[in-house]
Amino acid sequence: MRLLSQHSRFVRRTVALTASLAGLAVTSFPLAAQNSSPATSPTTIKVEVKQVLVPVVVTDRRGHSIVGLKQSDFEVLEDGDPQTLTSFGTASAPGETLPAVVDSQPASAPSPPPAARQAAPAPRRDYLICLDTLNSAFENFSTVRSALHKLFKQEEGSDAQYALVALGRQPVVVENLTADPGRILAALGSKKLNKAIEQSESSNLASQESELTRALGEYCEQCPCAGGVAATTRTSGGSGQICDGKRKRVEMWAESAAEERTMLTRDFLHNVRALESSLAAQPGKRIFILISDGFNLRPGRDLFGLIAAYLQDPSELVNNRVEDLEPEVQGILRLATARNVIFYTLDSRGLYTSPAGGYDASGEYQMTRVVVLLPQIQQQKETTALENQDAMAELAATTGGVFFHNSNDLFKGMRQAIADGREYYLLSYVPTHKSSDGKFHAIAVHVKGKDLVVRAKRGYWAGAGG
């Protein structure tokens, strides 16, 4: 079998993530450079009240922003209990900024020096555009870049800042925070971005699946498999032992490949959180635009799904050591809801009716067996494609953003993310519960008596200060 040697070549290409997360937060986004002020002796104040801030976007059913609403138009519930709004503002309010949730633990904060109050106002909105160059297919970046080029050709700047990052095995800051849309336009055609895109891992991951498919085809030519003898039946004597050994080798290879994918995905999510932390330190509204083909929070699950389809053995999907990375996403969400970072996620695959990567019925396989296996293989591919969207959908829904998918008009999704950063309301309240229990507290926002679409974060974890 060529399976093990192929994976060895794949593993040797792996490099350890060299970017320090702490260093990334400091060097990638030189925050102090944007708004500096003379150093003075700070006056310490005590913050004893937990105030929950909720950015809210309101549109009609066609997606048009609704402006002019008043505080009395809104109703806010936390864990089903009505809350009393303590303040209300809009994106156009003079000097408006978007601070973090102030938690119930007492904290010390310096009062701003007088000179800072007279300085130029801080940017009211910050957009971090992150291109997933780890999981996205090379051919999809042409559409992504075209949409971004169209977007920033129309952007006029003013009181917003933008940054462009390519996130593969390592993060590459293609263009740091800038108020000049022209710099983002120039960065879209830069050698730095081209190199990052060329290093996409998607083709290598697809090669793993192809190699496993070939190995399973060879296995099924000699051993019990779907379309032949029932998968649970074993031939007698030495041939049965040979088949058991072949199956074990296939499973061990899949486990090794899953571990490799887990490492890559965990590093990817850690870097998303590092970028999120940098963005959270910015003033104004903070929008994280993640453009990706999607990624699975159980890396390697698709490989075991393929084995299960061939062997007609559902236990392959249960009895494996594929790791669940949902806790990594929960860490991202805890920080996002505490610091009001809003995720807009865009599926860069565009319009699709079935998952990419259709089955290759080449001459290596018996057509009778392929015909038998096609429904099971297709079902596994469809399940994996849906699971690859789960994290993207969760990031957007929990933070009050939008998951834009199954559309070739990526520009529309990008434009919505930019527009939502300009037209929004800022509500705040002191929750009726006083505990910092670490639990998730659900938030629901409604506009009274009107049939409108209201988007806000779904809640926050009490005590999660990010």
Query: What's the pLDDT tens digit per position in 146-166?
Result: 999 999 999 987 789 999 999
Q: What predicted TM-score, i.e. pTM, was given to this entire model?
A: 0.80
pLDDT for the residue numbered 353: 55
Tell me, what's the pLDDT at 376? 77
State whether 117 and 88 are in the same domain. yes
> 3-state class of 49 per DSSP?
coil
pLDDT tens-digit readout, 256-309: 999 999 999 999 999 999 999 999 999 889 999 999 999 999 999 899 999 998
Residue 303 contacts residue 208 (beta carbons within 8 Å):
yes
Per the structure, the count of domains in the chain is 2
Q: Let me know whether 144 and 82 are in one domain.
A: no
- Distance, CA of 306 to CA of 258 (rounded, Å): 13
In a domain, 24, yes or no: no
- Of all residues in the chain, what percent carry a pLDDT higher than 70? 74
| Cα(246)–Cα(219) distance, integer angstroms | 7
Q: What is the pLDDT of residue 218?
A: 87
- Give the sheet arrangement for strand 453-455, strand by strand: 85-90, 425-429, 52-59, 453-455
- Residue 144 in domain: yes
Residue 205's pLDDT is 83
Q: What is the pLDDT of residue 16?
A: 33
- 354 or 360, which is more confident? 354
Q: How far is CA 271 from CA 168, 169, 331, 453, in A?
A: 9, 9, 12, 32
Same domain, 117 and 164: no
Q: Does 431 lie in the same domain as 349?
A: no
**Domain annotation covers residue 215:** yes
Contact criterion met (CB below 8 Å) for 458 and 76: no
Q: For helices 410-420 and 141-154, give the axis angle rounded to 10 degrees.
A: 40
Please, where are the H alpha helices in 93-188? 114-118, 141-154, 181-187
In this structure, is residue 209 part of a structural domain? yes
**What local confidence, expressed as pLDDT, does residue 451 receive?**
93
Angle at CA 424, nearest 5°, toward 55 and 127? 80
To 10 degrees, what angle do helices 3-12 and 237-280 make? 20
**Beta carbons within 8 Å of 428's beta carbon, 6+ residues apart:** 51, 52, 53, 54, 85, 86, 87, 88
CA 463 → CA 102, 104, 308, 383, distances in Å? 9, 7, 43, 36
Q: What is the CATH number of the domain that holds 354?
A: 3.40.50.410
Is residue 20 included in any domain, yes or no? no
Worst-scoring range by mean pLDDT, 196-200, 235-239, 402-406?
235-239
Where residue 52 falls among pLDDT bands split at 50, 70, 90? very high
Q: How many CB atoms lie within 10 A of CB 95?
A: 9
Whole-Å CA distances, 15 to 19, 125, 208, 209, 263? 11, 35, 18, 21, 11
**Which one is predicted more confidently, 99 or 373?**
373
379 and 445 belong to one structural domain: no
Domain contains 14: no
Beta bridge mates, 342: 287
Greater confidence (327 vs 236) lies with 327
Give residue 116's pLDDT: 41
Amino acid letter, 283: P
Angle, CA of 129, 91 and 345, to the nearest 5°: 25
Give the pLDDT score at 26: 34
142 and 273 fall within a common domain: yes
Q: Tell me, yes or no, whether 50 and 189 share the same domain.
A: no
Residue 219 has pLDDT above 70, yes or no: yes
Asked if 345 and 384 sit in the same domain, the reply is: yes
Whether 12 is in a domain gets the answer no
Sorting pLDDT into bands at 50, 70 and 90, what band is 6?
very low
Statement to judge: residues 243 and 381 lie in one domain: yes
CB 312 within 8 A of CB 231: yes
Both 147 and 212 in one domain: the answer is: yes
177, 152: one domain? yes
**Residue that wins the pLDDT comparison between 352 and 5:** 352
Buried b / exposed e over 97-134, threshold 16 CB at 10 Å, is ebebbbbbeeeeeeeebeeeeeeeebbbbbbbbbbbbb
Residue 321 in contact with residue 135, Cβ under 8 Å?
no
Side-by-side strand order, sheet with 74-78 = 81-83, 74-78, 440-447, 459-461
Give the number of C-alpha atoms closer than 13 A to the C-alpha of residue 336, restricted to the C-beta side: 29
**SS3 category, 109:** strand
Q: Domain of 97?
A: 42-121+423-461
Statement to judge: residues 156 and 102 lie in one domain? no
Q: Is residue 87 a part of any domain in this protein?
A: yes
